[in-house]
């Protein structure tokens, strides 16, 4: 990695989007581009001709990159070029917030995940493997593509699409099959039911926060028109509320530091259906100087120590997102991870506190990891 290219302050999540022909993954991708919550999205595909992105009809193509408008980009690559294009898309000039890799024709989804996790690019972080499944053609797809069970086993989130064409009992049966496909020793993927690929983008990434206000005052865009049309088709009440109702979120705040060993035990035994965890953790005497940004997607876990701001309240703030989870039970489990009492103001780290942080530090990316 070029030593003159330091990691950007916020790493860019790289999401792998997979699914067999007809599952609706391109429809889902278009939905994300229309409802991007202010984010600039980079899309990586194998072949422009193999995927129909609505925004391409209003953009020009330059070589292997297409501008989708509103700062979004699309690149056509093959697997051997993936690292090179990730380097380009995470550069300051691209100014992207999220990257989505549309897996068709590039590589097996699990291979793409391995490439992302093994990447030496310090600007990216794994954002999850999403498998889109056609609820109406699930059994037929498994007959044609038995490898789908392998994909489901490693997926972090399964979007059970086209549920308007499958009854409730059939959807439940498919979810049981998905749960049974889970790899040994890990819970099954979170499952979200959807029609026309419409899922809440906040399941996958956070809304963009732009201090310069560039998203507040701008002309009406093609994206706005597409979104308005979609909302009209969904009915007068819109579909945002219904999308959010498809999953649960749990907010947790603690003014008492978290016990590192207890929290790691909780994270190591995350229940089925829990897809994302994000926020900041206060480990008290375990590390007085830093709060720890927590990023978890599926079984992936990363901590990043960040200095406390001057006068910043010392507290833990977490948000957990999933489907079919028990919010009250999760909140109680997190509450049980707190230290028994707040540390004395003059308490300092001793050998016992240092050892208690070892489990956390295993998930901190060291500078030499990028070399």
Give the tens place of pLDDT for each residue, 19-60.
Answer: 998 899 989 998 998 888 888 999 888 765 655 665 544 344
pTM of the entire predicted model: 0.82
pLDDT tens digits, one per residue of 92-111: 888 899 999 988 766 788 99
Residue 85 confidence (pLDDT): 86
Mean pLDDT of 344-350: 73
Give the integer Cα–Cα distance in Å for 187 and 235: 36
Mean pLDDT of the chain, nearest integer: 82
Q: Show Cβ contacts of residue 356 under 8 Å, excluding neighbours closer than 6 positions.
A: 259, 260, 261, 286
Of the listed ranges 157-161, 217-221, 224-228, the one predicted with least confidence = 217-221
Contact between 320 and 266 under an 8 Å Cβ cutoff? The reply is no
Of the listed ranges 69-73, 142-146, 169-173, the one predicted with least confidence = 69-73
Residue 367 has pLDDT above 70, yes or no: no
Mean pLDDT of 260-285: 94
Q: Show Cβ contacts of residue 43 under 8 Å, excluding neighbours closer than 6 positions.
A: 29, 33, 53, 68, 72, 73, 74, 75, 99, 100, 101, 102
Of the listed ranges 10-24, 193-207, 222-236, the one predicted with least confidence = 222-236
Residue 228 has pLDDT above 90, yes or no: no
Give the integer Cα–Cα distance in Å for 155 and 75: 24
Contact between 221 and 187 under an 8 Å Cβ cutoff? The reply is no
Residue 293 has pLDDT above 60, yes or no: yes
Residue 274 has pLDDT above 90, yes or no: yes
DSSP per-residue string spanning 245-287 = HTSEEEEEEESSPBPHHHHHHHHHTPPTTEEEEEEEE--GGGG
Residue 262 has pLDDT above 70, yes or no: yes
Residue 219 confidence (pLDDT): 39
């Amino acid at each position: 990695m070029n030593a003159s290219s330091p990691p950007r302050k916020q790493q860019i999540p790289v999401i792998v989007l997979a699914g067999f022909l007809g599952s609706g993954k391109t429809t889902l991708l278009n939905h994300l581009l229309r409802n991007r919550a202010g984010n600039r999205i980079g899309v990586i595909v194998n072949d422009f001709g193999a995927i129909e992105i609505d925004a391409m009809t209003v953009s020009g193509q330059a070589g292997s990159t297409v501008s989708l408008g509103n700062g979004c980009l699309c690149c056509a690559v093959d697997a051997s070029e993936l690292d090179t294009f990730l380097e380009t898309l995470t550069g300051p000039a691209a100014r992207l917030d999220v990257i989505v890799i549309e897996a068709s024709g590039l590589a097996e989804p699990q291979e793409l995940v391995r490439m992302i996790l093994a990447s030496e690019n310090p600007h990216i972080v794994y954002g999850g493997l999403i498998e889109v499944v056609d609820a109406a053609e699930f059994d037929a797809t498994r007959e044609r593509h038995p490898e789908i069970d392998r994909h489901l086993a490693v997926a972090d989130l399964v979007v059970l699409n086209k549920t308007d064409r499958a009854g409730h009992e059939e959807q439940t049966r498919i979810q049981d099959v998905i749960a049974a496909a889970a790899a040994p020793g890990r819970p099954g993927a979170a499952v979200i039911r959807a029609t026309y690929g419409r899922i809440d983008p906040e399941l996958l990434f956070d809304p963009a926060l732009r201090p310069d206000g560039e998203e507040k005052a701008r002309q009406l865009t093609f994206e706005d028109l597409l979104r308005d049309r979609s909302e009209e088709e969904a009915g007068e009440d819109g579909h945002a509320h219904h999308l959010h109702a498809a999953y649960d979120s749990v907010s947790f705040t603690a003014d008492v530091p978290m016990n590192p060993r207890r929290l790691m035990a909780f994270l190591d035994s995350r229940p089925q259906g829990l897809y994302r965890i994000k926020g900041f953790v206060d480990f008290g005497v375990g590390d007085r100087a830093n709060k720890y940004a927590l990023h978890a997607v599926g079984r992936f876990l990363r901590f990043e120590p960040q200095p406390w701001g001057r006068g910043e309240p010392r507290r833990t703030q977490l948000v957990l997102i999933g489907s079919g989870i028990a919010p009250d039970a999760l909140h109680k489990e997190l509450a049980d991870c707190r230290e028994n009492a707040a540390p004395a103001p003059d308490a300092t780290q001793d050998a016992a506190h240092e050892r208690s942080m070892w489990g956390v530090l295993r998930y901190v990316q060291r500078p030499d990891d990028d070399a």
